[in-house]
Amino acid sequence: MDTGTIKIVAALICDAAGRVLLVRKRGTIAFMQPGGKRDPGEDDISALSREIAEELGCGVVRDSIRPLGEFDAIAANEPGFRVQACLYGIDVTGDITPSREIDETIWIDPSAPPDILLAPLTRDHVLPLASAERGAGNA
């Protein structure tokens, strides 16, 4: 039973080969998009920029930000909750260096993900979207 909804911003980051960056947060097992909750009074872009800096140690290329939609899924790490994610495609600048909040980063082919546990949002919405964009030559 769902007890609530967690509203987040999330990033779809692709490399030149069309692979998607996923993160595994400390103390969890599911891989997902980087991102997180907005601070009070924070808009999506500010929250996304802050989360990317905190989680990955790099910056968001402001001119690259494109809204990809709002998606709803079962929360990967909060039993009984759902996530409502505003997803943005972004490019980053600087080296991607996982922070203390992130245990692992991986690049995967969205059309053929490895045998790893994926967050429902990533599995059901983000990777199919990334595959479609890659097939259309937009990734």
pLDDT in tens, 84-138: 999 999 999 999 999 989 999 999 999 999 999 999 999 999 999 999 876 665 5
Q: Is 66 helix (H, G, I), strand (E, B) or coil?
A: strand
Residues 49, 41: contact at Cβ < 8 Å?
Answer: no
Per-residue confidence band for 12, with pLDDT thresholds at 50, 70 and 90: very high
One-letter amino acid for residue 74 of the chain? I
pTM of the model: 0.92
The predicted pLDDT at position 137 comes to: 56
Q: How many Å separate Cα 123 from the centre of its chain?
A: 11
E strands, the chain, in order: 4-13, 20-25, 35-37, 59-60, 66-74, 81-90, 92-93, 102-108
| Cβ-count burial 20-44 (b if 16+ within 10 Å, e if not) | bbbbbbeebebbbbbbbebeeeeeb
Helix, strand, coil shares of the chain, percent, nearest 5, are 25, 40, 40
- For residue 107, what are its two tokens? 């690049």
Residues 63-98 pLDDT 10s: 999 999 999 999 999 999 999 999 999 999 999 999
